[in-house]
Chain A
Amino acid sequence: MQDLKIVILDYGLGNLFSVQHVCKHLGYETLVSHDRKDLADADAVILPGVGAFRDAADSMHERGLVSPLKDFISSGKPFMGVCLGMQLLFSESEEFGSSEGLNIIEGSIKKFPSVGEAGNKIRVPQIGWNRIKETEKGVKWKDSPLHSIEEGSYMYFVHSYYAKPANEACILSVTEYEGLNYCSSVKQDNVFAMQFHPEKSAEHGIGIYRNWLKEISTDR
């Protein structure tokens, strides 16, 4: 029996089961929960999410999950955010006016422009596979769950908004869409979060889950 309590936080949005399926595929049991008590005694938390930032932020407030989640993250235990679960970590979003995020990572969430710098049409949402790359100033992959991933690997993305961290030091990967370079994953202390969906990114995505789950099991 695994003695690690991994909680997938359910705040009413997003495909939680695909995250649970991957963990199970790798031999890890997870608990899908919206209960504060489960957050309080979790060993690790995954925050998934599909949809709109404001709905997600509102829903987390309504369910009273904001401060328990902040408490969990400040405890230093492992946290993983996926897609909207990464965006929510930031200070604010320009989606539907300004909405407040969890403010764990300083920066903002911005919408993809409809026209690129070269006058090119940008289709939004970005839906599909795109490459992730390491940056010079950011976190090195060898020190992260991306350590087994080759530079330039394709991951699956679905989003209309992207994160712009205030401090480049937390950037783990960047991705280019229609000429726009943006931050596609972050790592800051115990927080690891991705804009793409590793649970939908075939073998390389599963590899990221494998690395993270292994890391959190051996760190304890």
Chain B
Amino acid sequence: MTNTIRIIPRLDIKGPNLVKGIHLEGLRVLGKPEEFAKHYYEQGADELMYMDVVASLYGRNSLFDIISRTAKELFIPLTVGGGLRTIDDIKNVLRAGADKVSLNTAAIKDPQIIRQASLKFGCSTIVVTIEVIRQSDGSYLAFTDNGREDTGVEAISWARQAEELGAGEIVLTSVDREGTGTGFDIELIKKITDAVSVPVIAHGGAGKPGHIASAIKDGGASAVAVASTLHYGYAATRTAGNQTEGNTEFLKSGRTFSKIEPHSIREIKEYLVNNEIDTRIADYTF
């Protein structure tokens, strides 16, 4: 029975730059998002996800430029999130060329925005991102603002509510695992995929292809969002010479993470297919 798994490169964007942190913090500049996105498209990425990590209400022009250029050149779906507060914010991002938007803080503050947005733009356009931190008693709480603000909202019931309000998909971020390469929180993924019937995109913890296979087979994820594994793989093939803004020390140092194996999309997908997971391997080359 077919249920084809998606591999979605997630690009965290700060101003004009692609950045990457650990636990959503300590951002390092890796390069220009469009260049990475184009490479991933050519490698057979199933979708792209852009997250504006600064999420300020003002000065979003560079983000709109990045979205618009991506939509004109890369013909796969693009999800954009980060700091979208109102129906107008959503409309503007869709107009710029995004196919879907992801909501977190705004949805927790006022869950009705999910219903309004899904009625206006179609439920498959509205993705709800849940950033989760596991508590010492084993419970899971939803956080906002890149894992900084405790909302007191329990993650599993929130996922159910988001689905009822019309979310077409859920992006599930384990803040504990994000950027660490130590593997996904499988228990969390399983709890959420059991609780809802919309697709769940697992995010946070991929350090090697085996982790991704486990999020799918053991966790029941329909898609996996991958950042570090792909970015470090591609960044290593380039030079930091043209990067002048932001925290570029990491790029210049040439260091890598011992826990994160750099892999291309094609390598990840070949691993999945060899492990009997159905996924699309691009049969075209550029």
User: Does residue B41 face the partner (Cβ distance < 8 Å to A)?
Assistant: yes
Known A-B contacts A18-B99, A21-B72, A120-B1; A128 and B284 likewise in contact (beta carbons under 8 Å):
no
**Chain B contacts for A203, CB-based, 8 A:** 75, 282, 284
Number of interface residues of B (CB under 8 A): 35
Out of A123, A154, A178, name the residue touching B198 (CB < 8 Å).
A123
User: Does residue A121 face the partner (Cβ distance < 8 Å to B)?
Assistant: yes
Contact residues of B: prevailing secondary structure: loop
Interface string of A10-35 (1 = CB under 8 A from B): 00011101100110110000000000
User: Does residue B199 face the partner (Cβ distance < 8 Å to A)?
Assistant: yes
User: Does residue B71 face the partner (Cβ distance < 8 Å to A)?
Assistant: yes
Which residues 58-82 of B have a CB within 8 angstroms of A?
Answer: 71-73, 75-77
Contact residues of A: prevailing secondary structure: mixed
Known A-B contacts A15-B94, A114-B197; A127 and B169 likewise in contact (beta carbons under 8 Å):
yes
Q: Are A123 and B222 in contact (CB under 8 A)?
A: yes
Which residues 1-59 of B have a CB within 8 angstroms of A?
Answer: 1-6, 41, 44, 46
Q: Are B3 and A202 in contact (CB under 8 A)?
A: no
Which residues 108-148 of A have a CB within 8 angstroms of B?
Answer: 114, 116, 118, 120-125, 127-131
Stretch of B119-127, B235-243, B247-255 on the interface side: B119-127
Known A-B contacts A123-B222, A125-B123, A178-B3; A205 and B168 likewise in contact (beta carbons under 8 Å):
no
Interface size class of chain A, counting residues whose CB lies under 8 Å from the partner chain: 35 or more
Enumerate chain A interface residues (CB-CB to B < 8 A).
Answer: 13-15, 17-18, 21-22, 24-25, 50-52, 114, 116, 118, 120-125, 127-131, 150, 153-154, 156, 158-160, 176-179, 197, 199-206
